[in-house]
Amino acid sequence: MLQEDSPPRLDIQDAPDGPVVRLLGAWTAANLTVPPVWAALTAQFKGLGGGAAAGKTGKAAGAVAGHWRLDEIEKLDYLGAQVLWQQWDHQWPAALQTTPEQREMLEAVEKFTVKLAPAPKASWFEPVRVLGSHLLSLFDHTKGLLRLLGQLLLDLGRLVKRPQQGPWRDLSGHLFHFGATALPITALVGFLIGVVLAYLISQQLRQFGADAFIVNILGISLIRELGPVLAAILIAGRSGSAITAQIGVMRVTEELDAMRVMGIARGFRLVMPRALALALVMPLISVWTTMAALLGGMLAAYVSMDVTFAYFMNALPAAVKVSNLGLASAKSVVFGLLIALVGCHYGLRVKPNTESLGQGTTASVVTSITVVILVDALFAVLFRSVGI
């Protein structure tokens, strides 16, 4: 029968010139990875006191104190040598007694082991550096969007001069994908938002006997604000991400490089058709979403407050001026243009790897929604006296 290896252990003896540490047992991976054995060995190392510095020996300065004897070890592999080298804090002991094979193994471990530098201490300047980094990144993205907007204006001028060269097939395809295919989801979400909003409003108005004012509240809120913003957010998550993913995949597959080699303008063939398509379909999707939300509001008002459809339709024109619809349509055009520009901006900045593609798509959606809300707030301030 094969004799089992004895577990690794330390035998520490005191001597006039310092402790003598004898290593016994089999210092191999099979033994060192046994939890009870490793726990006992760790306790012995802690009792030894670790690597205290003492003098200079050979190449190393401040070597580990004490006399270490490895010549009585039954077996030693590279994992055991690595454990000892870590315990010695990447330094040779002041006195070491080994066999030639063990010395060669320890020298190999010393050669290929890298001592990690300690983590830098946090500085008071670190928040300032992070803030500056974010501001520079914001400035870089803003500059890129302005450059993209300027190129779009130049491409529109080229299209006006030579309409026969325009990418009309791309434009029609984007109109279908961005507009027609988005109608079901925008109508469903708008309808549900209208139902929820009308039901919540009715609970408050009923307390004051002001049931008739639900038409005013729903009309102003849905036509002027919620309809365009809700449609823009849905399109930003649906079409804005698709724009970034499409252009990003072209970067990964090197189609953008091929277009540059062939002399095809990326702005004219990629950015302009998408920007025009979203600018054209966003007002229509906004009106469609608003109509669905009003239908849901009418249904909820009828169920909860007995406000008939006929009364709702007759009172709506008097409660909401036509200028609100014009303002909502104008906002939707700006929303669509910004969503397309943000999507193209992040798509063109994608690096040729899948991780960058995922990060760019996520950043595109978040940025588009943020820009839509900020621009809507700006419109609310600038046109606060219109339609009210």
Whole-number Cα distances in Å, 54 to 51, 61, 66, 96: 9, 8, 8, 13
Q: What pLDDT, on a 0 to 100 scale, did the predictor assign at position 209?
A: 75
Neighbours of 346 (CB within 10 A): 31
Cα gap 9→350, rounded to integer Å: 56
- Average confidence (pLDDT) over 143-163: 91
Task: Show the tokens assigned to 236.
Answer: 């930003």
Task: Show the tokens assigned to 132.
Answer: 């500056």
- Whether 241 shows a pLDDT value over 60: the answer reads yes
Neighbours of 139 (CB within 10 A): 10
349's CB contacts (< 8 A; 6+ apart) are 144, 360
Mean pLDDT, the chain, rounded, equals 85
Separation of first and last alpha carbons in the chain: 97
Task: Specify the 3-state DSSP secondary structure of 67.
Answer: strand
Task: Specify the 3-state DSSP secondary structure of 8.
Answer: coil
Cα gap 283→235, rounded to integer Å: 12
Give the DSSP per-residue string, 215-270.
HHHHHIIIIIIIHHHHHHHHHIIIIIHHHHHHHHHHHHTTHHHHHHHHT--HIIII
Cα gap 284→248, rounded to integer Å: 28
Q: How confident is the model at residue 70 (pLDDT cuts 50, 70, 90)?
A: confident
- For residue 159, the Cα-to-chain-centroid distance in whole angstroms is 36
Q: How confident is the model at residue 239 (pLDDT cuts 50, 70, 90)?
A: very high
Task: Specify the 3-state DSSP secondary structure of 307.
Answer: coil
- Whether 199 shows a pLDDT value over 50: the answer reads yes
The full set of domains in the chain, from first to last, is 9-112 (3.30.750), 166-382 (no CATH)
| Global confidence as pTM | 0.69
Backbone angles phi, psi at 39, to 5 degrees: -65, -45
Share of the chain above pLDDT 70, in %: 91
Q: Which residues pair with 76 in a beta bridge?
A: 27
Q: What pLDDT, on a 0 to 100 scale, did the predictor assign at position 234?
A: 94
Question: What is the tens place of the pLDDT at every residue in 259-311?
Answer: 888 888 888 999 999 999 999 999 999 999 999 999 999 999 888 888 888 88
Backbone angles phi, psi at 353, to 5 degrees: -150, 155
Q: What pLDDT, on a 0 to 100 scale, did the predictor assign at position 343?
A: 94
